[in-house]
Amino acid sequence: WAEDGHDLWLRYRPVEAGAGYVPTAIAPVADTPTLRIARAELERGLRGLVGAAPAGADRVILIGTPASSPAIAGLDLPLKAAGEEGYLIRSATFDGRSATVIAANRDIGVLYGVFRYLSLIQTRQPVDNLAIVSAPKIKLRMLNHWDNLDRTVERGYAGQSIWDWWKLPDYADPRYADYARANASLGINGTVLNNVNAKALSLTGPWIAKAGALATVFRPYGIRVYLSARFSAPIEIGGLKTADPRDPAVRAFWKAKADEIYKVIPDFGGFLVKANSEGQPGPQDYGATHADGANMLADAVGPHGGVVIWRAFVYSHEQPDDRAKQGYAEFKPFDGQFRDNVVIQVKNGAIDFQPREPFHPLFGAMPKSNLGMEFQITKEYLGFATHLAYLGPLYEETLRADTQARGKGSTVARVIDGDLDGRKLTAMAGVANIGTDRSWSGSHFDQANWYVFGRLAWDPDASSRDIAADWAKMTFSPDPRFVGPVVDLMMGSRETVVDYMTPLGLHHQMGRSHHYGPGPWVAGGERADWTSVYYAMAGPDGIGFDRTARGSNAVAQYAPAVGACFADLRCVDEKDLLWFHHLPWDYRLKSGQTLWEGLVTRYSRGVAGVDAMGKTWGDMAPYVDAERHAQVTAFLKIQRREAQWWRDASVSWFQTFSQRPLPAGEALPP
């Protein structure tokens, strides 16, 4: 069949002869919606990987919960560690046959366990002597779709929205179940259907019914539906004159709206809100606070078990201060004032999903609030769908960063999994890269970013390299001659993009508003603080944004030891140099090069990095079907050309300020 990528990492192609796996029978499974799906998945996977079990097969798999399976109840398994969503996989003997048991406290854990078991075979690990227990460390593992009601997708590069609103609720496209299945294979358990730049229309009856139809498809896969809420909805669809969260009529509107939604979607997850940011309405329009706004909505959904996810991505051009400081400045003072069912969703960095950002200063700074992580899976600032950039290392870098909020070892991962401050309601969201594209994500390698996001949401301490290896084996080939080079390629790919776009801590140098390609010269306009020139601060004297005490003092928003390090040229990592410092062109880097030379060298290194990826990929032809191999090859050519474009444009532009010659061996086109 067509290798168009639609199967994602769930391809289940036959294992090589002699790999040592044998056909296995599946013991009878209780008939519940989720267990039916789990059984079908197991059957599909096993049949594809190792073939159908012959009658009387001497190996058997038992799946279920103690409540649904007397056999499993009889095994008296230590299921406590599996929690509400986790699972246990054990090799055992049952009725004299050798058996594998996949057990959980709830049906959804069984489904997750089935996917895990199949992945063991997909990645060619032994399955004879298993003793696995796994439970998610984060409670809400969610995708955020920036999908509009007209099916365009903000910052989407993979076609239209997969939500076919026009035909909903009457027709449920089979893609919805495929989508739920893929997400369940990663343990993702929530999805926000519509863009955070929300329309009030999405909260009207007909649209609630459409969301309800999707929720019905997703439910047996353990996925809850959420909606982005427009803060001014009480005016737009409620006939009110205000959306002031302190106004009783406004509060009543939201309570009634929540009741209406829960009638249709009894397990509705809750609201995601972007308020008072980039022109969106919010409580500050009425002199009220983020806490007032979030708590009002929390009170509306709380009685139904819902949550409010309130974004900390706030900034406005009317605020003259460094944009990087605004989120912290607006939220930190309200620590402890948000309801228990509110999550403050914080982007990984303080500006906006750049190829590299230091971790957001809010992590560790609000111990009395639920702080969730927001990563971007779609590559708004990293070359859209064609540039190959595996984001695992980006996510991992943020998760492992040490906030030092409670001394050394206070990693961002421990903030968001609740461990550091004993928080129970924990969350990690990824802005989806999913669309109607045949390969779902716009390119084959962009599937890896969806995959690694899901895996890290389950376990934020997992290794992005291990995850890349699993993905590469499942998606392409488990042949070590493929996996070794391709995992190395993936692991280096994001740094390569950093090199040719924004080396040494530069940021936001992309073209205006579309964010594709170089635009370091972008300046002025209504919002000077949104532009490249403002972020690079290049001039005859040097380059970089001074966030030390001499400049915007953004470093003061971090724990003292962390801020002191960022501010200190002897301590700050050169990867973040120009994020925190404005330095002369002749400043000496650790390598002994001047800053100017080091910049140029890094841009060139980025171009060379794409060349190297192209070579490696070329060598992989024997291990990959021609169809997918050709697409990746073509996209790498685009990336090579555009890396050069980035380098040449950036070096030319900055040379007008540095007024220095290029280092030996470097040249620009005439």
Catalytic site residues? 278, 352, 380
Contact 26, 60 (CB under 8 A): yes
Determine the angle formed by the axes of helices 107-122 and 464-475, rounding to 10 degrees: 80
Output the smallest distance, CB 372 to ligand GCW, in A. 14
The 10 Å Cβ neighbour count of residue 1 is 5
Nearer to ligand GCW, 313 or 338 (CB): 313
Q: Does 146 bind ligand GCW (CB under 6 A)?
A: yes
Q: Does 500 bind ligand GCW (CB under 6 A)?
A: no
Q: Does 155 bind ligand GCW (CB under 6 A)?
A: yes
Q: Does 196 bind ligand GCW (CB under 6 A)?
A: yes
Q: Does 360 bind ligand GCW (CB under 6 A)?
A: no
Contact 158, 433 (CB under 8 A): yes
Which residue's beta carbon is nearest to the bound ligand GCW? Answer: 352
Write down the residue that tokens 């060349």 correspond to. 611
Q: Does 274 bind ligand GCW (CB under 6 A)?
A: yes
Reported as half-sphere exposure (CB side, CA atoms, 13 A), residue 617 has a value of: 26
- List 115, 353, 579, 596, residue binding ligand GCW (CB under 6 A): 353
- List 313, 334, 476, 500, residue binding ligand GCW (CB under 6 A): 313
Report the SS3 class of residue 25.
Answer: strand
Nearer to ligand GCW, 196 or 208 (CB): 196
Q: Does 603 bind ligand GCW (CB under 6 A)?
A: no
459-488 residues in contact with ligand GCW (CB under 6 A) are: none
Contact 632, 602 (CB under 8 A): no
Output the smallest distance, CB 374 to ligand GCW, in A. 8
Per-residue contact string for residues 278-307; x = within reach of ligand GCW by CB under 6 A: x-----------------------------
Q: Does 157 bind ligand GCW (CB under 6 A)?
A: no
Residues touching ligand GCW, count (CB under 6 A):
11
* First CA to last CA distance, the chain: 48
- In order, the DSSP letters of 435-496 are -SSTTSSSSTTTHHHHHHHHHHHH-TTS-HHHHHHHHHHHHT---HHHHHHHHHHHHHHHHH
Structure letter (DSSP) for residue 75: H
Q: 550: Cβ–Cβ under 8 A, 6 or more apart, which residues? A: none
* Rounded Cα distance, 140 and 189, in Å: 7
Nearer to ligand GCW, 21 or 353 (CB): 353
Per-residue contact string for residues 88-127; x = within reach of ligand GCW by CB under 6 A: ----------------------------------------
Output the smallest distance, CB 590 to ligand GCW, in A. 32
Is the dihedral angle over the CA atoms 533, 538, 543, 548 positive or is it negative?
Answer: negative
Structure tokens of 152? 């365009």
Output the smallest distance, CB 278 to ligand GCW, in A. 6
Nearer to ligand GCW, 30 or 196 (CB): 196
* Rounded Cα distance, 311 and 334, in Å: 14
* Rounded Cα distance, 491 and 464, in Å: 8
Q: Does 230 bind ligand GCW (CB under 6 A)?
A: no
CA 37 to mean position of chain CA atoms: 26
Output the smallest distance, CB 557 to ligand GCW, in A. 20
Q: Does 154 bind ligand GCW (CB under 6 A)?
A: yes
Reported as half-sphere exposure (CB side, CA atoms, 13 A), residue 641 has a value of: 6
Report the SS3 class of residue 124.
Answer: coil
Q: Does 323 bind ligand GCW (CB under 6 A)?
A: no
* Rounded Cα distance, 286 and 281, in Å: 10
Q: Does 197 bind ligand GCW (CB under 6 A)?
A: yes
Nearer to ligand GCW, 82 or 497 (CB): 497
Nearer to ligand GCW, 69 or 378 (CB): 378
Nearer to ligand GCW, 146 or 338 (CB): 146
- List 352, 417, 446, 546, residue binding ligand GCW (CB under 6 A): 352
209-228 residues in contact with ligand GCW (CB under 6 A) are: none
Output the smallest distance, CB 381 to ligand GCW, in A. 8
* Rounded Cα distance, 485 and 640, in Å: 19
Output the smallest distance, CB 140 to ligand GCW, in A. 18
Phi, psi of 405 (to 5 degrees): -60, -35
Nearer to ligand GCW, 313 or 476 (CB): 313
Nearer to ligand GCW, 453 or 476 (CB): 453
Output the smallest distance, CB 87 to ligand GCW, in A. 34
Output the smallest distance, CB 353 to ligand GCW, in A. 5
Output the smallest distance, CB 538 to ligand GCW, in A. 23
Output the smallest distance, CB 196 to ligand GCW, in A. 5
Output the smallest distance, CB 378 to ligand GCW, in A. 9
Report the SS3 class of residue 668.
Answer: coil
Contact 216, 209 (CB under 8 A): no
Task: List residues bridging with 468 in a β-sheet.
Answer: none
Q: Name the helix (H) or strand (E) containing 103.
A: strand 97-103
Phi, psi of 330 (to 5 degrees): -85, -20
Nearer to ligand GCW, 227 or 469 (CB): 227
Q: Does 380 bind ligand GCW (CB under 6 A)?
A: yes
Output the smallest distance, CB 272 to ligand GCW, in A. 11
Per-residue contact string for residues 401-440; x = within reach of ligand GCW by CB under 6 A: ----------------------------------------
Q: b/e map of 525-560 (b: 16 or more CB within 10 Å)?
A: eeeebbbbbbbbbbeeebbbbbbbeebbbbbbbbbe
Nearer to ligand GCW, 196 or 309 (CB): 196
Secondary structure (H, E, C), 255-322: HHHHHHHHHHCCCCCEEEECCCCCCCCCHHHHCCCHHHHHHHHHHHHHHHCCEEEEECCCCCCCCCCC
* Rounded Cα distance, 411 and 364, in Å: 8
* Rounded Cα distance, 310 and 529, in Å: 24
Closest by alpha carbon to 187, among 459, 467, 434, 395?
A: 459
Nearer to ligand GCW, 39 or 274 (CB): 274
Nearer to ligand GCW, 198 or 233 (CB): 198
Is the dihedral angle over the CA atoms 26, 31, 33, 35 positive or is it negative?
Answer: negative
* Rounded Cα distance, 616 and 624, in Å: 13
Q: Which residues bind ligand GCW (CB under 6 A)?
A: 146, 154-155, 196-197, 274, 278, 313, 352-353, 380
